[in-house]
Amino acid sequence: MRLRKLTLRHFRNVGFAALEFSGRQQFLVGANGQGKTNLLEAAGFLTALRSFRTTENKLLVGHTQHTAAIACELEHERLGETRVTIKLRHDGKELWCDQARVTRLADHLGKFPTVVFSSQDLQLVRGSPAGRRRWLDLTLAAMDPGYFGALQKFSRALAGRNALLKAGRAVDGELGAFEQILAAAAAELIGLRASGLQALGAQLKASYAKLCDDAEPAGLGYEPNFDEPSAEALLARLEAGRERDRQMRTTLVGPHRDDFHFSVRHTAARDFASEGQQRSLVLALRLAQAAWFQEKSGVRPVMLADDVLGELDPARRRRFWAAIDPASQVLATGTALPDGELGAWQIFEVADGAFVEKPARVEAIP
Amino acid sequence: MTPAFEKLQKHLKQLPGLGYRSSERIALHLLVEKPGQLPALVAALEEAARAVRRCARCGNLAEAEHCAICADERRDRSVVCVVEHVPDLVAIERSGAYRGSYHVLHGKLSPIHGVGPDDLNVAALRARIESGEVAELILALSNDVEGEATCHYLTEHLPAGRDVRITRIGFGLPSGGGVLYADSVTLKSALDGRRTYH
Ligand SMILES: [Zn+2]
Maximum Cα interatomic distance, chain B, rounded to a whole number of Å: 63
Angle at A188 (CA atoms; ends A187, A194), nearest 5 degrees = 90
Claim to verify: residue B38 and residue B78 sit in the same structural domain: no
pTM (two decimals): 0.86
- Cβ of B156 and A181 within 8 Å? no
Which of A107, A151, A153, A251 has the most B C-beta neighbours within 10 Å, making it the best mutation to test the interface with B? A153
Considering only residues 166 to 195 of chain A, which have any Cβ-Cβ distance to chain B shorter than 8 Å?
167, 173-174, 176-178, 180-181
Q: Are strands A25-29 and A330-334 parallel, antiparallel or unpaired?
A: parallel
Residue of B nearest to A179 (CA): B149
Q: Which residues contact A329 (CB under 8 A, 6 or more apart)?
A: A1, A2, A3, A21, A24, A25, A26, A302, A303
Q: In chain B, how many domains are there?
A: 2
Element (H, E) at B23: helix B20-28
Which of A156, A165, A169, A245 has the most B C-beta neighbours within 10 Å, making it the best mutation to test the interface with B? A156
Instruction: Return the pLDDT at B170.
Output: 62
Instruction: Return the pLDDT at B178.
Output: 58
Distance CA A144, CA A314 (A): 37
List, edge to edge, every strand of the sheet that includes A218-223. A218-223, A259-264, A267-268
Alpha helices in B140-183 (DSSP H): 145-157
Instruction: Return the pLDDT at A239.
Output: 96
- Cβ of A174 and B146 within 8 Å? no
Q: Are strands A92-97 and B53-54 parallel, antiparallel or unpaired?
A: unpaired
- Tens digit of pLDDT for each residue in B54-79? 999 999 999 999 999 999 999 999 99
- Cβ of B153 and A177 within 8 Å? yes
For residue B181, pLDDT over 70 is answered with no
End-to-end CA separation in angstroms for chain A? 32
Could you tell me the CA-to-CA distances from A134 to A91, A123, A151, A251 in Å, in that order?
A: 21, 12, 11, 19
CA of B70 to the centre of ligand 1 (A): 4
CA of B47 to the centre of ligand 1 (A): 20
Claim to verify: residue B9 and residue B95 sit in the same structural domain: no
Q: At what angle do helices A172-211 and A314-323 cross, to 10 degrees?
A: 110
**CATH number of B30's domain:** 1.10.8.420
- Cβ of A176 and B111 within 8 Å? no
For residue B185, pLDDT over 80 is answered with no
Distance of CA A197 to the CA centre of its chain: 14
Claim to verify: residue B68 and residue B43 sit in the same structural domain: no
Could you tell me the CA-to-CA distances from A10 to A89, A110, A352 in Å, in that order?
A: 11, 27, 13
Percentage of the residues of chain B whose pLDDT score is greater than 90: 73
For residue B198, pLDDT over 60 is answered with no
Q: Which residues contact B155 (CB under 8 A, 6 or more apart)?
A: B139, B166, B197, B198
Instruction: Return the pLDDT at A310.
Output: 80
Determine phi and psi for A267, rounding to 5 degrees: -120, 135
Distance CA B155, CA B166 (A): 7
Q: Which residues contact B188 (CB under 8 A, 6 or more apart)?
A: B95, B96, B97
Claim to verify: residue B12 and residue B68 sit in the same structural domain: no
Burial class (CB in 10 A: 0-12, 13-18, 19+), B16: exposed
Q: Which residues contact A177 (CB under 8 A, 6 or more apart)?
A: B109, B149, B150, B152, B153, B156
- Tens digit of pLDDT for each residue in B69-110? 999 999 999 999 999 999 999 999 998 889 999 999 999 999
Instruction: Return the pLDDT at B118.
Output: 93
Instruction: Return the pLDDT at B153.
Output: 95
**CATH number of B190's domain:** 3.40.1360.10
CA atoms within 13 A on the CB side of B5: 11
pLDDT class of B187 with cuts at 50, 70, 90: low
Angle at A2 (CA atoms; ends A114, A50), nearest 5 degrees = 30
Residue of B nearest to A152 (CA): B145
Claim to verify: residue B40 and residue B123 sit in the same structural domain: no
Instruction: Return the pLDDT at A246.
Output: 95
- Cβ of A174 and B109 within 8 Å? yes
- Cβ of B149 and A160 within 8 Å? yes
Q: Which domain-ending residue is among B21, B36, B51? A: B51
Instruction: Return the pLDDT at A227.
Output: 84
SS3 B183: coil
Determine phi and psi for A190, rounding to 5 degrees: -60, -45
For residue B174, pLDDT over 60 is answered with no
Query: Would you state the torsion angle of the CA atoms of residues B97, B103, B108, B109, taken in this order, to the nearest 10 degrees?
Result: -130
CA of B101 to the centre of ligand 1 (A): 8
How far A160 CA lies from chain B's nearest CA (Å)? Answer: 5
- Cβ of B110 and A160 within 8 Å? yes
- Cβ of A177 and B110 within 8 Å? no
Claim to verify: residue B67 and residue B14 sit in the same structural domain: no
Could you tell me the CA-to-CA distances from B132 to A43, B65, B74, B163 in Å, in that order?
A: 62, 20, 19, 9
Claim to verify: residue B103 and residue B141 sit in the same structural domain: yes
For residue B175, pLDDT over 60 is answered with no
Residue A306: name the closest of A331, A271, A328 by CA: A331
Per-residue model confidence as pLDDT tens for chain A (366 residues):
999 999 999 999 999 999 999 999 999 999 999 999 999 999 999 999 999 888 888 899 998 899 999 999 999 999 999 999 999 998 889 999 998 999 888 889 989 999 999 988 999 999 999 999 999 999 999 999 899 999 999 999 999 999 999 998 788 999 999 999 999 999 999 999 999 999 999 999 999 999 987 668 999 999 999 988 899 999 999 999 999 999 999 999 999 999 999 999 888 887 777 888 888 999 999 999 999 999 999 999 999 999 988 888 888 888 999 999 999 999 999 999 887 778 889 999 999 999 999 876 555 555
CA of B118 to the centre of ligand 1 (A): 20
Residue of A nearest to B149 (CA): A177
Q: Which domain-ending residue is among B18, B33, B51? A: B51
Beta bridge partners of residue A141, listed in sequence order: none
Range B30-46 average pLDDT: 93
Claim to verify: residue B149 and residue B181 sit in the same structural domain: yes
List, edge to edge, every strand of the sheet that includes A67-76. A14-20, A2-11, A67-76, A80-89, A92-97, A100-102
Question: Which of the residue ranges A311-315, B14-18, B148-152, B187-191 would you say has the lowest mean pLDDT?
Answer: B187-191
A159: contact with B, CB 8 A cutoff: yes
Claim to verify: residue B67 and residue B91 sit in the same structural domain: yes
A164: contact with B, CB 8 A cutoff: yes
How far A70 CA lies from chain B's nearest CA (Å)? Answer: 27
Beta bridge partners of residue A25, listed in sequence order: A330
Claim to verify: residue B59 and residue B157 sit in the same structural domain: yes
**Are B56 and B123 within 8 A, CB to CB?**
no
Assembly ipTM: 0.81
Distance CA A122, CA A127 (A): 8
Query: Would you state the torsion angle of the CA atoms of residues A46, A31, A66, A113, taken in this order, to the nearest 10 degrees?
Result: 0
Q: Which domain-ending residue is among B51, B71, B88? A: B51
Claim to verify: residue B118 and residue B144 sit in the same structural domain: yes
How far B115 CA lies from chain A's nearest CA (Å)? Answer: 10
Residue of A nearest to B158 (CA): A173
Give chain B positions within 8 Å (CB) of A157: 145, 149
Give chain A positions within 8 Å (CB) of B153: 173-174, 176-177
**Are A18 and A67 within 8 A, CB to CB?**
no
- Cβ of B109 and A177 within 8 Å? yes
Distance CA A52, CA A71 (A): 18
Claim to verify: residue B42 and residue B126 sit in the same structural domain: no
- Go through chain A and tell me how many residues it has: 366
pLDDT class of B193 with cuts at 50, 70, 90: low
**Are B100 and B121 within 8 A, CB to CB?**
no
- Cβ of B111 and A160 within 8 Å? yes
Beta bridge partners of residue A15, listed in sequence order: none
Percentage of the residues of chain B whose pLDDT score is greater than 70: 86
Question: Structural domain of residue B18, as residue ranges?
Answer: 3-51
